[in-house]
Every structure is written in C-alpha cells, then in structure tokens.
Chains A and B, each alone.
Chain A
Amino acid sequence: MERPGGGLATEAEGLLRTIAGAAAAARLYPPTSPLRLEAVDRVVARSAAVTASHGTVQYHVDRARFVVAETTVGEGLPQVAALAETLHALQVGQLIVAPGVTDHEVASLLEIIGGDARAMRASGGVRSALLGADVRAIAVVEVTLRASTEAGLLGIDLTGAPLEEIARELTLAAATWQQDALAGSQSTDIAAEAIGRLESAAQDLAMRRCAEALLHLDEATRVDLLSNALTVDADGRLMESVLDIIGHMQPAALARLLRLTAQMMARQPETLLREIELPPEIFAELATLLKPTFREDLARGVPPEADAEEISREIARADEEDLAHISTLVTASTPRNAAARGLATIVSVARERPTEDSIRAVTDALGTAVDVGAFDEVSEAAELLSELSSDPALAPAIQAARKVLGSPDILRECVRRLSEDPTLVSARTLLEAAGAAGAEALVSGYLDAPADRREHLMPIIVSMAEPVAAVVGRTLRTGDPAQAASAIDMLGATGARRLLPTIAVALEHLDSRVRQAAIVALGANPGPDSAAILQKALGHWDPETRRLAAREIGRAGLADAVPALLRIIAVVNLFERNYELKKEVLKSLEALDSPQAIPVLERLAHRPVAIGKKNRELRYLARRILETLRHGDRAD
C-alpha cells in the first residue's frame, strides 16, 4: 500500500519522462547512435532506482496522461503526453515496469512503440511483440473490447480488474479447491493458472493486487478462504497460489490472518507460517508478531488494562501546583543552569574517569560556568583538581585547569560576586585556592568596589591576610600612592593584628597620604602592637607624621604611649620648631587623661619664661590641661 501523495508518483513521473525522452531519441537517432544508447541506459538506471524503492510500477494509460496509484502523472508534460498518446493509439491500457529491466528490453520497447500503430495492432499488438522480443520486466495490458470467453478468475485481468471482483473470484477459487480436495480428487489451482498466464513483469503486481483484494473481504470470509486453500488435495498439495498471494500482504495483516485461521483450524499459527514461503526477514517479523504477549506484558509491569477514564480524570486534576512546578522547572532551565550542570556533569565524569581528556573538558567548561556565576560547581571542580593533583600523568592538564581557575577574569568575577553576596562560599573557596592571584584580585576588587560593598569583602581579606599583606606590600613598593593609601585604608578596616606590620611599613612611604593612611589605620586598631608602632612614629623623620601619630595616640586612647608623649614636651630645644607636634601631644595627653602627665605638665605650665607667641600658647595649653587633670582628680 503506497502512501497517498508520497514519493511514488513523483518518481514514477520521473521514470516516464526518461522513457518519453528515450522514445523521442529512438525516433530521432539510429539504433547505434550513442545518444540513443545513452537514453536507453538512463531508462534502465531510472527504472532500477524506482523499482528498488517501490517495487513494480503500474501505469494506467489515458489519452494524454498516466495514472499511478490514483494520482495523475505527466499531465502538461508534452513528451509524456506524446508517449501516452502513442501507447493509447497502440491500445495499451497499462504499462508495467518490474525490477530487473535490461538494455535489451528497453530498446525493444522503444522499437515496438516507435513503429506504425496500425501495423502493430494488425500483427498481434504490443503485448505479443514484447513477448516475442523476450521482454520480461516490462509488460503491457492491452485494452480490448472483446469479452473474455473464460469464466471466473481466468476471465478477469488481475492487473486491472476491480479489487472486489478479484476478491470474489479468489474466494470461489479457494472454495472450489477445498471441495475437490475434500472429495478426494485432484484440485486445480485456478489462481495459479491465472497468474501464470501473465508476463513475469505483471505477476508480482497481480499477486499484490490479489493480496490487497483479500483485505476488502470481511474477515470471516478471508479466514475461510485461507483455510480452504490449506486443505490438502489428493496429491498432497495445498493451494500454493493463495499462500503466495498472502505472502504479499503486509506483515501485520498477514499475522492477524494466520492467527485467526489457526484458531479456526485448531492449529498453532507458527505451523501455518511454515507453510508459506517468505523472505527470512519477513518470516522473522511474523514470528515475533505471532508470539503471545499477555504474560510478557505482566512481567514487564504493564497493567492488563489501562483505566483510560481514571487517567483522564488525573489529567483534568492537573492544578495550579503542577503549573507552578513546571514554571519553576522552565525558569530554572536557563543558560546559567546549563553551564552549571555542564560543569557538574563533566566533574562527575572526570571523577569516574580521571583522564587527561576529562580534565581538559573541565578546563573548557570552567570559563562559561564562571561567566554565569556557577561558583558552587567551579568550586567543586577546584576540589577535584586538588584530589587529582597527586597523579603525575594528569599534572600538565591540572596545571592548565588551575591556570584557568587562577585567571584574573575568573578571580575578579569571584570578588565581584562576593562583594554582592558575602555568603558565597564557593567564590571564597576559589579565591583562597588561588593564593597570591586571589589576593591580587581581592585587593584590586576591593579598591574598585563601591563603598557600601567593601565591607562584604572584609571576612575574606582577613582570612587571606598573608597573601593580601604581600599584595599590599608590593603596592607600597611599586604602586600608585593613591592606590597604596587605599590599600592601607583597607588593611586598617580589617582590624586584623596580623596586618599591622604591613601598615607599619607604610609609615616609611615617601608619599604623605600613604603615611597618613597608615597612622589612621594604626589608630583604628588600638592595642599594644599598634601603640608601639605609633610611639615609634613619634620619632618619624617627617614632622607631619609625628604630629599625626601624636594625635592618633590620643584619639585611640593608647595610655601606654603617655611616656613617649611626655618625652616630647619634656625636652626643651630652643632650635627645634616643633610647636605643632607639642600642641598635638598636649591635646592627646588631655584626651588620655593620665595623672602620669601632671609633673611634666606642671613644669611646662609654670615655666617662667616663654619666648614667642607659640611657646606662650603651649604654656597656656599645659595650664589648662593641668587644670582639667587636677579637676578630674578632685572629681574622682
């Protein structure tokens, strides 16, 4: 059975065009002309292709067109129309092309249809001419007005008669066979005779039509027909033609027929199957189809019956919850998710198969995963690399992967994400794993981050104090002063004592902004260590740094530094212009509110001579502070 509107009509039309072209070439060129031979070759090749795909092709010839499987072909094509006219004039009703067409057969056909139509009809017609030329794969059915002189199957054209008529005659033929067989006489296979009378090109077609005709019978009759044909006659024969015909049925239809017939005859379908000659692949397919299935289904957990109503009700109950769940799944299937899943899957595969190729795949997937912020998965990949790092065979691949993990872009992205979400453990892990490079990215990311996000980075800066200190140390040595100052601010903001030595280094920076930042940072982290550094800074070569140190000591309330402050105001050096420093020291002493300062302040306050306005201002300040301290004592 062909597909309606399928490829048959198109391919059959193509073949017709080739035949029509060859017919034209046969008219124009002598038999030995290469053009004519080429045209014949084309027909052979084309017919081989078409019959390989569709089997025997049957054309019904009309006055100016052909019909294939109820589809008109060649309409409007002048050469094909001319071929149809020629065949029509030769009283050809059908043209049949079977597999295995040869050069000789095509050349003979062209020769025959190229001759005079009247003479051809007079000499017996195209069919006999073809038979005379030993053409087997091409056949024609001539249109005749003469009624058949024979009755039954022998009296009808199996290639063109209505299927119902064929079915009816086949049924009768099989019934006759059975009657004769049951009567103990030799039966006659009328169907075999009817088919045998056809040219070989038409025999296959006739059997296919007979098979199709059987489908138009009601099932009971069809089963009867087969069972009749399976009755053994006096010579021990079956009605082979019917078995050949049903061999042309589609496997499923044949399997059903065999099953029902076997049931009726109380036989096993397999035994019937063995009576039919079939190609091995069809035989195997039928054997599968005839296997019982019920137990097999149960064994596979398939219910004996499906409760369609219940399933329908279940589906109708699909509710908002289902919609919401699906919506969540759809939303989650984003490119981000794909990249993250991709990396996670590759990591799983690499865990099972730790090959160089797997590690390279991990490396390939890292970039995309980081781009989409799949830090958990990237972190998992980093862990895998650590696990496999002891394998020397994988060392180069792991190194390459780590290079990607340590790439500034990835690390920068980690810092950015962390500045947005300080709980992102995976990004933190990655930065920590990257060591110095991570610290580098961290410092630079911190400096670029908006003020309100910087504090999110503090925990990781503290946890990476050592590499961070190294980065800041390098910035102090080689970096831009403004950057260096910001980096020192950053260290100060951490409150980490481990970072104080680095801050102390900044006190020696040539740029005052950096030194100032260091002083502020030290003041922001009060404690014995920062106090010691600030005391030391009181002796800094830069007066401004000294002054700032004095101020920070007071502001930070570093009482341990009081003696150092007192030393500054105790020394009287007429040539030293350090009024500003001393003023700052006095203010800090006031802030520190230490009774320890009273004796020194008394000396300064009661100094009889104070030359110059600034010295007098210092004396005045000392008196005032002394007053405050004493008042404070009394109050205490």
Chain B
Amino acid sequence: MTDTSHDDRLETAEEMATLAAPATRAPFATPKRLEKARDLARALAVAQNNAALYPASHPLAVQSVQDLTAAVTAIFEIGFEDVTINVYKATLFIENQVLPEESVTYRKLVVDLLARGISALTFGPGFGESDAAAVTELLNTPDIASIEQSAAFLRHRGAASVAVAETTDLDDSVREEEERENKAQGRETYDRGIELMRDVETQAKLGKVFEVEPLQHMVSSLLDTLFKDPAAILGLTAIKGHDDYTLNHSINVCILSISLGASLGLDAESLKSLGLSALLYDLGKVRIPGDILGKEGPLTADEWQIVKSHTTEGADLLKRIQLVDQMPMVVAYEHHQRHDLQGYPKAAGPQEQHLFSKIVALCDAYDAMTTRRPFRREIRPDKALAVLMQGRNKAYDPSVTKALVAMLGIYPMGAVVTLDDGSKAIVFRVNKDDLLRPRVKRVIGADGSWLKEPETVDLRLVNPETGTFDHGIVECIPATDAGIDDVWQYL
C-alpha cells in the first residue's frame, strides 16, 4: 500500500463499507472484535509511552513492543489482511470504527501522529516486533514533522510492513467532484427510470406487452453507480414525488432493494434480477380501479378483496413477459405474503417467501411509510424503521430487517434531525460504526434562519477538551415540518 493511495480511501472506503455492507459484516461488529480494535489502540499508545520513558532494552519497553505485535496479529487472525489506524479531525478510528473514548484517553498518540503529518497508519502482512519498535520510535522522534519524513524514517528502519498516509485537500476536492458527477449520473438514471416506468404502466394498462430491455439497462446503470458510489444511489430515495407517487415509489423501492441486496452479498446477476423485480412488483395495480386505490376513507370488504388481487394480477401480467428469469413475477405474487405467511395470496405450502420478496416487501413498506400521500402524512424515517423492527418475525424477516436498518442507519440519508443546539440538519452519510451518529449537513440555525451554505458535521467527532461528542441528535423530524421540501439536493 502506497502512501498516497490510502488518502483517498479514508472516507471513500468508509462510505463504501457504510453503505454496501450490513452492520453484521462491519469489521468490528461484535463486542469481541471491537475489543481487539480497542486493544490495538491501547497497545500502540502504551508502546509509545513506554518508549518515551524507558530505553529500548528495558523489559517494559520490550514487553509493550511485543504487546503491540500481538495486538496486530490478533486482528489479522480475525480475517484482516492489513489494519489501518486513522485520525480524522482529531478522532481516532481503527478501520472505520470510531473509538471515542480512546480518542480522548490517547490524546498524545493522536497529537503525535498529526504532528508527523500522519492521518493513516497501516500495519500490513508480516508485521513483527522490529516494525512495532520502528513505529514507537517514530512517534518519539521529535524532529519528524511531515509525512515524507515519517515515511523515510520507516524505510530507513526497514519497517516494510508499516505504511503512513495523509489526507490532502486535493484528494477531498477530487472526491467531491466525483461525488457530484455520480450524483448527477444517478439523478439522470432516476429521471429516465420514471419515464420508462410511465411507459410500462401505460402499456400494461392498455394490455400491451412492454419492453423489458430498457428497464434492465436502467437497473444496470443504477448498479454501476451503486458499486462506484453507494451514497449517490441511496440518496436518490430521498426524492419523494408527490405528483406521481407510483412511479417514484417503484424506482425508490428498486434502489433500496438493490442496495440491500448488495449489502447481503448477492452477486451482480442476482442484483439485476432483484432490481427488475423491485421495479415491477406492484404492476398489478394497473388493473385495480384508480378510485379504489386512491380512496381516502376505509375500504369496504369487497374493495379490499379487489386491492388484494393486485398481487395475482401482477403475476398474471408478468407471467408471459420475456424476462431473464421469472423473479419479477414471483415477487409480484409473493410480496404481501409476509414472513409468517399470514398475508395474501394464501401460500400454497409452508415454503417461506423468496429472499427477493422479503427484500422488496421491506423496502416497499419503508418507502411507502416515509412518503407523503394526498390522504396521509409521511412517517419520519426513524419511526418507520421502528415500525419495521416491530414487524420482525411477523410481516418481515428478522435478519433481513436488521440488515436494512443497518444499511440505512437509525437516521437514514435524507432524514432531518434537530441537533442538541437546536439547529436542524439533514443526514447525508450514515456512519456504520455508530448508527446513532451520522454525518449531517446543518441547514437551519437554532434561531430558525437558513444558513447561506450548509455546514457539514460528523456527529462522531469528539471534543478533545471535554472528551464528549461535539453534537448529538435530539430528535428526528419530518422534513416538511422543518420546512424543507427537497432534501436530495443536500445529499
């Protein structure tokens, strides 16, 4: 790993991990694993301290170098090929795991790393005691003040398994430019998708066969962007069309589904099939009279039966369409069957819903709840997730539900939150290691005035003086209650 290559990874890789992997797959997801990360931070800080106090041959110094080596080895043993200690805005991370307490406790370590221009310290394969000794020496050599000097020092000491890197403004600007491009590309695909789905609906209403190929291209395009920049794609679900709910909803469900599918580890072909299924799962509604679908009051028993028939209607519509596979039809049929099979249509046997149906059912429910309709208000995202969590084991598969929440975060992208200083902010990136502390863009001040430029705040960051978090979320509020119409523009 070269010095510069790592700079770019600092946030990008973190975001990738944040959005493309479920919490259960986060490197330090379990308490046991997290303890290993903490051990490493502790070992490094202790080794640095002992090297400052004692000569290298002193038993305590020797022991602490051995402990550091053992801590790194312990992390390799849980599947890491290398492990990186990051310092970002004076906060200590191991990989993408924030260590708030250690950021304060080992303040000297953070300060000494930054003083040497180091934002990332990577221990690679073959890390041994000589490498550990070189790192502690580096941290105790006062005249090293730049990343170049740090790298040269390690080279000179033959520490081949240690790499240092820094984050530069240039990297940030390049990354931001890429993000802007990805966002624009994602939006273009989204808008094209709306038009395509409009055509599909029209054709289906007329009883004509529609072309699937453009939809497949659209899904592929979304997947391309998803793999490049998950946030650019997931952020699109914050677009809530109020005029043509069905079209926006189908694209949003498609995006949520493929994102969740990717985080569950589905391969590209399966994701394409899932994406197409998620676009077409509700197509049967074109055969349900609009006045019943849009009825504001409660439905009569007969009307409810008609609404319920949309699943069979959808499968009936899709059964002879030339698709890559028949999953769109299956999902159209199964998406209301529920995890406990108490839904509709009545399941023929004890076979549980297909994974795709489970995913689409969850994403459908989430997007529907968080979208305003003419006859009801939207539910704020954290409450919507709470509803989904309540429905675990009943309507929804418990593990898949947890994976969805882990992917979206407790405060998903686009959620509007009130911070503890009274200001209002929009969640624009979820932090995988701390779902309660996302990165936000503050848009409205505590006095209710709109800021000229949104201000980015990472809620994980710790105040070095007090050792507490700089800011926290007091509550999540519906975007419209805060007076914000289009949150997508801030993502």
Chain A residues within CB distance 8 Å of chain B: 1, 3-6, 215-220, 222, 250-257, 284-285, 288-289, 291, 293, 296-297, 300-303, 305-309, 311-312, 314-316, 318-319, 321-323, 325-327, 329-330, 332-333, 335, 337-339, 341-346, 348-349, 352-353, 357-358, 360-361, 364-365
Contacts and interface: CB of A to CB of B under 8 A. Distances in A.
A337 B274 CA distance: 14
Interface of B: 22-25, 29-30, 180, 184, 242, 264-266, 270, 273, 312, 315-316, 319-320, 325-327, 329-330, 333-334, 345, 348, 351, 354-356, 358, 369, 372, 374, 376-377, 379-380, 382-387, 389-390, 397-400, 402-403, 405-406, 410-411, 435-436, 445, 447-450, 452, 473, 476, 479-486, 489
A74 to B, nearest CB: 20
A301 B24 contact: no
B22 A318 contact: yes
Given A323-B25, A345-B334, 17 more contacts: A1-B486, A3-B489, A215-B449, A217-B449, A250-B485, A256-B483, A257-B483, A288-B377, A308-B382, A315-B410, A319-B24, A322-B403, A338-B327, A341-B327, A352-B312, A358-B316, A360-B320
Contacts of B23: 315-316, 318
B355 A323 contact: no
Contact of A5 (B180, B273, B377, B390): B180
Contacts of B266: 330, 333
B467 to A, nearest CB: 20
A252 B329 contact: no
B269 to A, nearest CB: 8
B377 A291 contact: yes
11 contacts: A253-B483, A297-B379, A311-B386, A318-B22, A322-B24, A325-B397, A329-B397, A333-B270, A339-B326, A342-B330, A353-B316
A38 B286 CA distance: 45
Given A215-B449, A219-B449, A312 B374 contact: no
B485 A361 contact: no
B104 to A, nearest CB: 21
B71 to A, nearest CB: 23
8 smallest CB-CB distances across A and B, nearest first, come from A219-B448, A342-B326, A218-B447, A306-B386, A256-B483, A253-B483, A252-B480, A322-B399
Contact of B485 (A252, A257, A311, A318): A252
Given A219-B448, A303-B383, A338-B325, A332 B405 contact: no
Contacts of A329: 264, 355, 358, 397, 399-400
Given A318-B399, A333-B355, A349-B319, A339 B325 contact: yes
Provide the main secondary structure of the chain A interface. helix
Contacts of A332: 355
A311 B449 contact: no
Max chain A C-beta neighbours (<10 A), residue from B333, B445, B482:
B333
Given A293-B377, A345-B330, A311 B24 contact: no
Contact of B484 (A4, A252, A337, A343): A252
A129 to B, nearest CB: 36
A284 B320 contact: no
A497 B356 CA distance: 52
Given A326-B400, A348-B348, A303 B449 contact: no
Nearest to B314: A349
Given A219-B447, A250-B485, A346-B329, A297 B383 contact: yes
A307 B374 contact: no
A302 B379 contact: yes
A95 B105 CA distance: 59
A257 B481 CA distance: 10
Contacts of B379: 297, 300, 302
A524 to B, nearest CB: 43
Contacts of A327: 265
Nearest to B180: A5
B180 A345 contact: no
Contacts of B480: 251-252, 255-256, 289
A220 B386 contact: no
Given A253-B484, A318-B23, A349-B333, A288 B356 contact: no
Contact of B312 (A296, A311, A349): A349
A333 B356 contact: yes
A311 B473 CA distance: 15
Max chain B C-beta neighbours (<10 A), residue from A1, A321, A341, A346:
A341
B312 A353 contact: yes
Contacts of A289: 372, 377, 480
Contacts of B399: 318, 321-323, 325-326, 329
A216 B483 contact: no
B327 A296 contact: no
Given A344-B348, A345-B333, A311 B405 contact: yes
A221 B330 CA distance: 56
